[in-house]
Amino acid sequence: MWNRDLTEALAAILNPEAAEALRDLGKIADDRGINAFVVGGVVRDALMKRPCEDLDIVVEDDALDFAAAAARELKGRVKKHRRFGTAILVLGRGVKVDIATSRSESYARPGALPDVAPDPIDLDLRRRDFTLNAMAARINADGFGELLDPAGGREDLETGVLRVLHERSFEDDPTRVLRCVRFAARFSFEVDPLTEKLLQDAVDRNLVSTVSGERIMNEIRLILSEDEVWAPLERLDSLGALASIHPEWHLPEKAPNLFSELMTIMKDPVGSIRSATLWHTNFLAAVSAIDISDAGALLDRLRSGATLRSLVNELARFETRTRERLESEGALSRSSIYDALVALSPETLAVILASGGQIATQRIALYLSELESVRPILNGSDLIVLGLQEGSDLGRVLTDLRRARLDGFVTSKEDELEFVRRTIRNLDVKNKR
Ligand code: CTP
C-alpha cells in the first residue's frame, strides 16, 4: 500500500516559507473548527517530486472570511474575488495562496462559467479536470498531510495516464481540451483511451468555440510558456483544435524545425533577444504561416492586447520587405544589416533567427553579437558643441556617424571629430545654396 502521508513529500517540493504557511493556515482552520486542504497541482507535484510555487487551499467554510482571518493573523494582504467567492492571500517572502470554498459546480451550457454551491471536499475534488489534479492533502494539525484521492489520481500518476473524471468533463469546461494537451505533453503521459475519444469528440463538436477569447488566450499563454511547446501545439493542430479557435490557424510547414531552433535560441539567448518574452516569441512562431488578415482575426478572437498585434504586424512587414535582402547572396555592408534589423523587437529577432536560411542567420547572429551594441564615441551634446543645433540634422549626423563606425570608416575619436566637422561643412554649403 502506498504511503498516504504527504508531509515529507510536500516539505520536499515547497520552499520553507510556503511549507510554514501551510502549517499556519492549518492551525487557523483548527481555531475556526473547519477542515482545510491543499489541493490540485501542489499535491500532484508533491507526488511527482516537482518543485511548485503557488499554493491552492480549499476550506469547508467561507473562503473570504477564512482569508481575512488568515491575513490578520499572518500579517498578509488579501485580494478578494467576490464573483467567484475566492481570495488570494499574499504573505511575506513571496508566498501566494489561492483560497477557495469547497464546492461543487454545474454548468448551464458548454463554455459558460460554472454555477457553484458549497459542498464537502470530496465533491469539490470530483468536479475537477483530471484525476491527477483531483487530489488533496489535509492541512489541519490533526492528520496533516493525509492524502484524499477519490478518483484514483495517484495510480494514474504512477502509470503515467491522463484521465478525466467523468464523460461530461470537456463539455463542462472546453478549456480542458487545451489543458489536456498541455499536461499530457508536460509529463509525457498517455491520454487514456476513453479520455482521448471524449477529447476528439469535444473538438469535433467545436466546443472550444463556445469559450471566451480571454480564457482561450490564457490557456494558449500557458501552453506557450511550457519548456516544450512543439508537442502540444502539434497535438492541437492534428486534433483540429487550432482550427476551432480560428479556421485558418495552422502551423508553419517547417514547424518542428522552427520550434526546435527557437527552443535552442531562447535557452541561451544572445544580445537583445535576452529581453524577449518567451510566450510572445512562441506565439509569433505559431502564427507565422497565417495570412496577416487571418492573423488579425485570430487576435480579435483571442481578445489580444496591442503588444502581440504589433509583433505580428512587425514580422509580416519583415517578411514582405526585408527577408529577401537579408537572405541574398550579394554583399551587404554591416551598416545595411544594422539598418534592416535595428527597429525589430527581440521576439521578432528570435523568430527570424530561428527561421532564417544560412546567410540570413549569419547576418542576424552578427547583428546580435556585435552590431547592435556599436555606438559612436561622440554623443548629441558633443555634436552641439561642434556647432550642430538640436533637431533632425543632429539625429541624422549621429545615425551617419554610427554607420561610419559600423563600416569601419571611423575607428577613433579623432576620426569621428573629423567626420562630424566634414559633415557640418557639407551641410553649411548645402544650406547656403
Ligand atoms: N481545475 C479544473 N478545471 C480547470 C482548471 C483548473 O478542474 N479548467 C482545477 C484542477 O484541480 C487544478 C486546479 O484547479 O489542479 C488549479 O488549476 P491551475 O492552477 O490552473 O492548474 P495546476 O494544476 O496548478 O497546474 P499548473 O502546474 O500548470 O499551474
- Look at residue 433 in the predicted model and tell me its pLDDT: 63
DSSP code string of 102-132: -EEEE-SSTTSPPEEEE--HHHHHHTSSBGG
Q: Which of 13, 129, 212 to mutate to test the pocket of ligand 1 (most atoms within 8 A of CB)?
A: 129
| Nearest Cα residue to atom 12 of ligand 1 | 40
Q: Taking the alpha carbons of 26, 30, 32, 37 in that order, is the dihedral positive or negative?
A: positive
> Which atom of ligand 1 sits closest to the CA of residue 52?
27
Q: Is the CB of 176 under 6 A from ligand 1?
A: yes
Q: Which of 14, 52, 53, 56 to mutate to test the pocket of ligand 1 (most atoms within 8 A of CB)?
A: 56
Q: Write down the residue that cell numbers 469546461 correspond to.
A: 173
- Look at residue 416 in the predicted model and tell me its pLDDT: 95
1 pLDDT band, cuts 50/70/90, is very low
Average pLDDT over residues 412-431: 87
**Three-class HEC string of 385-423:** HCCCCCCHHHHHHHHHHHHHHHCCCCCCHHHHHHHHHHH
Average pLDDT over residues 64-86: 93
Distance set, CA 160 to CA 122, 128, 163, 200, 215 (Å)? 23, 18, 10, 20, 27
| Nearest Cα residue to atom 21 of ligand 1 | 41
Q: Is the pLDDT of residue 37 over 60?
A: yes
Q: Is the pLDDT of residue 412 over 90?
A: yes
Q: State how far the Cα of 128 lies from the Cα of 134, in Å rounded to an integer.
A: 6
Q: Is the CB of 128 under 6 A from ligand 1?
A: yes
Average pLDDT over residues 281-302: 96
Q: Is the pLDDT of residue 281 over 80?
A: yes
So what's the architecture of 7-158 in CATH?
2-Layer Sandwich (3.30)
pTM, full prediction: 0.91
- Look at residue 82 in the predicted model and tell me its pLDDT: 84
- Look at residue 324 in the predicted model and tell me its pLDDT: 93
43 alpha-carbon distance from chain centroid? 23
List, by residue range, all CATH 3.30.460.10 domains of the chain.
7-158
- Look at residue 109 in the predicted model and tell me its pLDDT: 82
Q: State how far the Cα of 229 lies from the Cα of 256, in Å rounded to an integer.
A: 10
Q: State how far the Cα of 314 lies from the Cα of 9, in Å rounded to an integer.
A: 47
249 pLDDT band, cuts 50/70/90, is very high
Q: Is the pLDDT of residue 251 over 90?
A: yes
List, by residue range, all CATH 1.10.3090.10 domains of the chain.
247-373
- Amino acid letter, 333: S
Average pLDDT over residues 178-194: 97
Give percent of the chain above pLDDT 70. 98
- Amino acid letter, 79: K
Q: Looking at the chain, how many residues does it have?
A: 433
- Look at residue 107 in the predicted model and tell me its pLDDT: 80
Taking only the tens place, the pLDDT of each residue in 301-336 is 999 999 999 999 999 999 999 999 999 999 999 999
For residue 100, the CA-to-ligand 1 centroid distance in Å is 13
> Which atom of ligand 1 sits closest to the CA of residue 42?
24
Q: Is the pLDDT of residue 137 over 50?
A: yes
The answer to whether residues 153 and 44 touch, using CB atoms and an 8 Å cutoff, is: yes
Q: State how far the Cα of 259 lies from the Cα of 231, in Å rounded to an integer.
A: 10
Give percent of the chain above pLDDT 90. 86
Q: State how far the Cα of 96 lies from the Cα of 78, in Å rounded to an integer.
A: 10
Out of 1.10.3300.10, 1.10.260.40, 1.10.3090.10, 2.40.50.100, the CATH code matching 247-373 is 1.10.3090.10
Q: Is the CB of 133 under 6 A from ligand 1?
A: yes
List, by residue range, all CATH 1.10.110.30 domains of the chain.
160-245
Out of 3.30.70.100, 1.10.110.30, 1.20.1600.10, 1.10.3720.10, the CATH code matching 160-245 is 1.10.110.30
Task: Give the residue with greater pLDDT, 29 vs 109.
Answer: 29
For residue 40, the CA-to-ligand 1 centroid distance in Å is 6
Q: State how far the Cα of 209 lies from the Cα of 109, in Å rounded to an integer.
A: 13
Taking only the tens place, the pLDDT of each residue in 194-223 is 999 999 999 999 999 999 999 999 999 999
Q: State how far the Cα of 55 lies from the Cα of 38, in Å rounded to an integer.
A: 7
Taking only the tens place, the pLDDT of each residue in 142-157 is 999 999 999 999 999 9
Q: Can you tell me whether residue 227 is helix, strand or coil?
A: coil
Q: Is the CB of 173 under 6 A from ligand 1?
A: yes
Q: Is the pLDDT of residue 79 over 70?
A: yes
Give 3-state DSSP helix, strand, coil % of the chain, rounded to 5. 60, 10, 30
**DSSP assignment letter at 113:** P
For residue 125, the CA-to-ligand 1 centroid distance in Å is 11
Per DSSP bridges, beta strands 77-81 and 136-138 are: unpaired
Q: Is the CB of 129 under 6 A from ligand 1?
A: yes
User: Can you read off the three cell numbers belonging to residue 388?
Assistant: 550642430
What kind and span of H or E run contains 146?
none
User: Can you read off the three cell numbers belonging to residue 397?
Assistant: 549626423
CA-based nearest residue to 294, from 245, 256, 254, 253 = 245
Q: State how far the Cα of 417 lies from the Cα of 37, in Å rounded to an integer.
A: 71
- Look at residue 432 in the predicted model and tell me its pLDDT: 64
Q: Measure CA of the first residue to CA of the last residue in the chain; give whole Å.
A: 96
Side-chain half-sphere CA neighbours of 217 within 13 A:
13
For residue 120, the CA-to-ligand 1 centroid distance in Å is 19
188 alpha-carbon distance from chain centroid? 20
Q: Which of 53, 57, 127, 133 to mutate to test the pocket of ligand 1 (most atoms within 8 A of CB)?
A: 133
Q: Is the CB of 272 under 6 A from ligand 1?
A: no
> Which atom of ligand 1 sits closest to the CA of residue 175?
8
User: Can you read off the three cell numbers belonging to residue 207?
Assistant: 466546443
